[in-house]
Structure 1
Amino acid sequence: MIRLVIVDDDLLVTTSLKTIVEASGEISVVGIGNNAAQAVSLYEELQPDILLMDIRMGESTGIDVATKILEKKEQADILLLTTFSDDDYIVEALKIGVKGYLLKQDLEAIVPSIKAVKNGQSVFGHSIMERLPRLLQTEKSTYLEEYDLNEKDLSFLSLIAEGMNNKEIAQHLFLSEGTIRNYISHLLEKLELRDRTQLAVFYYKNIYGK
């Protein structure tokens, strides 16, 4: 059972989300909050598997909360949910290492996304993924020599950036999933990054279209 905390400043939204996710029979909502302060306290108190949180909550944002939590626990699984498909929010969410950014109107994607995050994947919704190359190309580029990347590294990074999971990459390259896991760990260590989402961000910022 996936333990979930939901935080949104609209009580109707939190109630509706609780009903939707618990109907799957695989998710248990262990806490509900309505503001940024409650999001932090509920996460620290309950230590849920995943925090599902609105991005705009009064004076603070889900980005602020996620930053605070991730500073203390780098591996925290945070999924942002919002009606705002805002470019700046998307880029900022990727930079700090949240595991997903979904639009509230994509209700059918919420439960699958929670399951995917629990299984170690990152989810950003089809409409958002389509915009990542354009959004991240505007960021300042770095010289690849600085990171000592070779053609094999670039190939792996491109497949990760396409959203492939380990099994799909293994099938594509005719390698074992264990080999893929080891190589991704190697890339994370080499580039001093936290997870595959940040690898995808690195690819689009520094390699894609160059």
Structure 2
Amino acid sequence: MSIDSPLSVLLVDDDSLIRAGLRAILSSDQEISIIGEAENGVRAIELALRLEPTVILMDIRMPQQDGLSAMESILLQAPEAKVLILTTFGEEEYIDRAMSGGASGFMLKSSGPEELLGAIHAVAEGAAALSPSIARRVIDKVRGIDTASLTRAQSLVQGLTVREREVLALVGASLTNAEIAVRLMLTEATVKGHMTAILLKLGARNRVDAALIAYRAGLVHP
């Protein structure tokens, strides 16, 4: 992680004009430091592993290697990395692959500057971040999942302690660790400990995956 800022970002987009626009938006936030830029997935993997940014802001359609395969390579080698997909394209195929591949969030380039900055901070703090339209589609898809998958999610949740289920429900409501700590009157370190146990018991890759299980199990309602 960058020593210059507690929130370092790696920009990955093949369009130099898009990168310039993102640079301007992110530079307006004094808590964010841009520590690198990449124009393709191959370069993104190299910089992500070497610089260890807090958040990787990743485009999808790029030459040499697309953003989703680059994300998968990064997370294979650095499972703790946080990748926020930022794309013009919201096709179901992309959303499904991003979520199953371990993305910490999925935002559309049509999002406003404040929404994007909020998403970066949320991901950095350990929360999930989805554009409203993407979140709606993900939730609708969860609702349509077969009974066996719903039953499995409920079974997994039953293996959690009461406190862990409370934490998971708040994760599903997109709260950060700090916000959960305040809500449940716990220390942030205690919440992090609960999150580690929750992810392990659920077999979830990250908070997005855990949040989807919370929806399927009925702990969270849209």
Fold match by TM threshold 0.5: yes
| 1:205 Cα offset (Å) | 4.5
Say whether the 8 Å CA contact 1:31–1:42 is kept in structure 2.
yes
| 1:6 Cα offset (Å) | 0.8
Residue-pair matches, total: 208
- Equivalent position to 2:131, from 100, 125, 128: 125
- Equivalent position to 2:215, from 204, 207, 210: 204
Say whether the 8 Å CA contact 1:137–1:208 is kept in structure 2.
no
Cα deviation, 1:170-200, whole Å, max 9, x if unaligned, reads 566x542455444333322212223322211
- Equivalent position to 2:172, from 156, 161, 175: 161
- Quote the Cα distance in structure 1 between the aligned partners of 2:25 and 2:121: 14
| 2:28 pairs with 1:23 | yes
Q: What percentage of residue pairs aligned between the two structures are identical? A: 29
| 1:159 Cα offset (Å) | 3.3
| 1:46 Cα offset (Å) | 2.3
Say whether the 8 Å CA contact 1:80–1:102 is kept in structure 2.
yes
Cα deviation, 1:16-74, whole Å, max 9, x if unaligned, reads 11122112222222222211111112212322222111111136421111100000111
| 1:120 Cα offset (Å) | 2.0
Say whether the 8 Å CA contact 1:136–1:204 is kept in structure 2.
yes
| 2:127 pairs with 1:116 | no
- Equivalent position to 1:6, from 3, 11, 24: 11
List alignment gaps of at least 5 residues for structure 1. Answer: none
For 2:198, the equivalent position in structure 1 comes to 187
**Residues 8 and 150 (structure 1), Cα distance of their counterparts in 2 relative to 1, 3 Å cut:** closer
| 1:105 Cα offset (Å) | 1.2
**Residues 29 and 183 (structure 1), Cα distance of their counterparts in 2 relative to 1, 3 Å cut:** closer
| 2:140 pairs with 1:134 | yes
List alignment gaps of at least 5 residues for structure 2. Answer: none
- Quote the Cα distance in structure 2 between the aligned partners of 1:167 and 1:32: 29
Say whether the 8 Å CA contact 2:8–2:32 is kept in structure 1.
yes
Say whether the 8 Å CA contact 1:4–1:27 is kept in structure 2.
yes
SS in 1 for 2:130: coil
| 1:10 Cα offset (Å) | 0.9
1:69-84 matches, within 5 Å, as 69-84=74-89
Paired letter, 2:172:
A
For 2:159, the equivalent position in structure 1 comes to 149
- Quote the Cα distance in structure 1 between the aligned partners of 2:31 and 2:197: 33
- Quote the Cα distance in structure 1 between the aligned partners of 2:38 and 2:160: 46
| 2:103 pairs with 1:103 | no
Paired letter, 1:79:
L
**Residues 38 and 189 (structure 1), Cα distance of their counterparts in 2 relative to 1, 3 Å cut:** same
Say whether the 8 Å CA contact 1:91–1:136 is kept in structure 2.
no
- Quote the Cα distance in structure 2 between the aligned partners of 1:165 and 1:50: 15
Say whether the 8 Å CA contact 2:26–2:32 is kept in structure 1.
yes
TM-score (norm 1): 0.83
| 1:118 Cα offset (Å) | 1.9
- Equivalent position to 1:44, from 34, 40, 49: 49
SS in 2 for 1:102: strand
Say whether the 8 Å CA contact 2:126–2:207 is kept in structure 1.
no
